[in-house]
Every structure is written in C-alpha cells, then in structure tokens.
C-alpha cells in the first residue's frame, strides 16, 4: 500500500508519453530528423537536472520530478507540431478534453467506492467494475468517437459467433 501514491504519480507522468511519441514520429515521417534530434537532446539535460535536484529528497521526490519532467517534455515535443501544422500543445490538449473528463469521472467514482470499502479484494473488484462502467457511461454521454468503434467491434464479434 505505501507504493500506491508513487504508482499514481508514475501513471500521471506516463500519461503524456504516447502523445509525445506520436509528435516525435511525425517529425521523422515528414523528414525532419534534425528537429527530432534537437528535441531529444533538449530533454536529456532537463531529466538530469530533475534527478540532481530530487535525489537528495528521496524516491517520492524523484517520481514527482519525473512527472514535472514529462509535463515539460510534452510542451517541448508539441512545439514543432504547433509551429509546422498549427496543432500545438493547447490544441492537442483540447482534443483530449472529453477523454480526460471521462477519466476524471471514472477516478472520482472509483475513489468514492474505495472510500467505503475496507477489504482490498473488494476494492479491486468493485473499483474495477465501477471504473469501467463509469468510464463507458461518461464516454457514451459525451459521444466519444471510440465508443462507436467499440460498439461496432462488439456487434461484429457477436455476429461472427452466430
């Protein structure tokens, strides 16, 4: 249980990693490996400085430092997308708003559910069910596009079994 807060910080830190990776791949796809190299080289000193600052304060500080580093990295990797395509950090974050809202709703529901349950097994079981249910409900209500894809996949799977 003492590791739970550290894992939560790590989850938040790694949340932006796929978006950063996509932005970096785009630079390579359009033949701008020079920009890719600049971005990669700019991230290294930031990571090292964060480590140097946080190591004396312990593991939790290192993990929080990693979170801050990932936030900074997100803005660095999206800089060129904004400059080249007009699709920078803020526009990318706006595109993710419905997913983030659905995730916040899910998280709130799971935390509320876990607040009233003392048994760890039940927390995991009910928290998982409540989380999936709330996320799907929120995604359906907000008409998140991927819910339509999931619905089609389920329909095609059921049709294939008949």
pLDDT per position as a tens digit, 25-79: 999 999 999 999 999 999 999 999 999 999 999 999 999 999 999 999 999 999 9
Q: What is the pLDDT of residue 161?
A: 66
In which residue are the tokens 């593991």 written?
A: 59
Same domain, 67 and 145: no
Residue where one domain finishes, among candidates 94, 127, 146 = 94
Over residues 78-103, mean pLDDT: 90
| Per-residue CA distances from 122 to 5, 64, 116, 138 (Å) | 19, 29, 11, 23
Number of domains within the chain: 2
Give the global pTM: 0.73
Same domain, 114 and 66: no
When the pLDDT of each residue in the chain is averaged and rounded to a whole number, the result is 90
Same domain, 66 and 106: no
Same domain, 30 and 85: yes
Same domain, 117 and 88: no
| Per-residue CA distances from 127 to 51, 111, 121 (Å) | 34, 8, 10
Measured between alpha carbons, how far is 10 from 7 in angstroms, rounded to an integer? 5
Same domain, 40 and 58: yes
Range of the domain at 39: 4-94
Same domain, 121 and 137: yes
Residue where one domain finishes, among candidates 59, 94, 129 = 94
Q: What is the pLDDT of residue 35?
A: 93
Residue 162: pLDDT over 60? no
Q: Are the C-beta atoms of residues 105 and 134 closer than 8 Å to each other?
A: yes
Residue where one domain finishes, among candidates 94, 115, 150 = 94
Same domain, 47 and 127: no
Q: Residue 90: is it exposed, middle or buried by C-beta count within 10 angstroms (0-12/13-18/19+)?
A: exposed
Percent of residues, the chain, with pLDDT higher than 70 = 99
Same domain, 69 and 112: no
* 108: confidence class by pLDDT, cuts 50, 70, 90: very high
Measured between alpha carbons, how far is 103 from 146 in angstroms, rounded to an integer? 14
């Amino acid at each position: 249980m003492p590791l739970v807060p550290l894992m939560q910080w790590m989850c938040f830190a790694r949340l932006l990693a796929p978006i950063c990776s996509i932005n970096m791949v785009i630079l390579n796809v359009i033949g701008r490996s020079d920009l890719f190299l600049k971005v990669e080289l700019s991230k290294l000193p930031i990571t090292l400085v964060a480590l140097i600052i946080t190591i004396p304060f312990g593991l939790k500080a290192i993990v929080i430092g990693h979170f801050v580093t990932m936030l900074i990295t997100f803005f660095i990797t999206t800089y060129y997308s904004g400059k080249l395509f007009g699709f920078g950090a803020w526009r990318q974050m706006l595109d993710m708003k419905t997913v983030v809202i659905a995730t916040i709703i899910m998280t709130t529901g799971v935390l509320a559910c876990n607040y009233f349950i003392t048994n760890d097994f039940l927390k995991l079981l009910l928290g998982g069910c409540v989380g999936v249910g709330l996320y799907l409900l929120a995604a359906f209500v907000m008409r998140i596009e991927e819910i339509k894809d999931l619905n089609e996949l389920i329909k095609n799977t059921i049709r294939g079994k008949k």
